[in-house]
Amino acid sequence: MLTSTFVLLQGVGAVTERRWWQEGVLDWHSFVNRSRIAGLSPDRKSLYNEDLSQALAAFEAKDFPSLAARLPGREHWRFYDTCRSTALYLDIETTGLSPHDPAGAVTVVGLHRNGSTTTLVQGDTLTTDRLQAALDECTLLVTFFGSVFDVPYLRAKFPRLRFPMPHFDLCLAARRLGMHGGLKHLERELGLDRAPALCGLDGLDAVRLWSRWRLGDQAALDVLLAYNRADTESLVPLAALVYKEMMLRFGPSASAASGMSHHSPTAYTP
């Protein structure tokens, strides 16, 4: 999907991108290799050729941050298939509801990558260096509402953290698909299961569990870590499902099907 993305070009929006897909211009190579594109002047075509050649060079060099900088955040879902094997799934627990709450703190950070989950705990393993090392190893960050909550909260509490990679926010993508509600609600809607003992827990429970642990209840910390692990690991199947639906709704195949339904076959003639 990433190399089929044309909205990174200045002046190109979703309507133009969709029209090009319907006309058989399905990726950067096919655009550059065509002598002309309907509706584009030779000068504009040449300019876009140069931009896409640079994008291809960045893609081949796996320089995804530079490509991410050219796309609005809502379109970063397009990186998923390319970056799936090196994606980092992240979920945090806090004692505050806002990154701007000076009394709030990040208590637990769950990190899942390539089948393995690591949990960082405040006062022990949760440090800027540990977080940055995990972020530096990934090519795509995947969260649920993380662009609004998790990442701003981490930036506020760990100011030296850098987040140059593309960020696939599953909550915002799901909303574009008409899927509303929190993570647990979507899990139920999509048939994703978690351990029965964790099903009734939410963010307020996470705050209470942390407080109980600080008072000496080790079992409370064990439950909190299991809860965070469940939240973090559930992002993996949810990302696959959301990406599949995004492709069906907004990808080239959807536009091709639309073109076959609403346009004459000549639209597909090279």
Indicate whether 193 and 255 sit together in one domain: no
User: For residues 97 and 145, what is the distance between their CA atoms, to the nearest angstrom?
Assistant: 13
Indicate whether 18 and 139 sit together in one domain: no
Indicate whether 221 and 260 sit together in one domain: no
22 pLDDT more than 50: yes
Query: Which tokens hold the place of 238?
Result: 């949810």
Spatial CB neighbours of 241, under 8 Å, sequence gap ≥ 6: 190
Query: Helix 183-190 crosses helix 218-250 at what angle (to 10 degrees)?
Result: 60
Indicate whether 89 and 192 sit together in one domain: yes
Q: What is the domain count for the chain?
A: 2
Indicate whether 231 and 201 sit together in one domain: yes
pLDDT tens, position by position, 205-221: 999 999 999 999 999 99
Indicate whether 172 and 123 sit together in one domain: yes
- Residue linked to tokens 């504009």: 44
Indicate whether 90 and 212 sit together in one domain: yes
Indicate whether 36 and 14 sit together in one domain: yes
Per-residue model confidence (pLDDT) at position 261: 41
Spatial CB neighbours of 7, under 8 Å, sequence gap ≥ 6: 13, 14, 17, 71, 72, 75
Indicate whether 98 and 199 sit together in one domain: yes
Indicate whether 151 and 231 sit together in one domain: yes
User: For residues 102 and 263, what is the distance between their CA atoms, to the nearest angstrom?
Assistant: 57
Per-residue model confidence (pLDDT) at position 254: 67
Q: What percent of the chain has pLDDT over 70?
A: 94
Residue 138 structural domain:
81-248
In this prediction the pTM is 0.91
Indicate whether 19 and 115 sit together in one domain: no
Indicate whether 210 and 160 sit together in one domain: yes
DSSP letter, residue 145: S
Per-residue model confidence (pLDDT) at position 266: 30
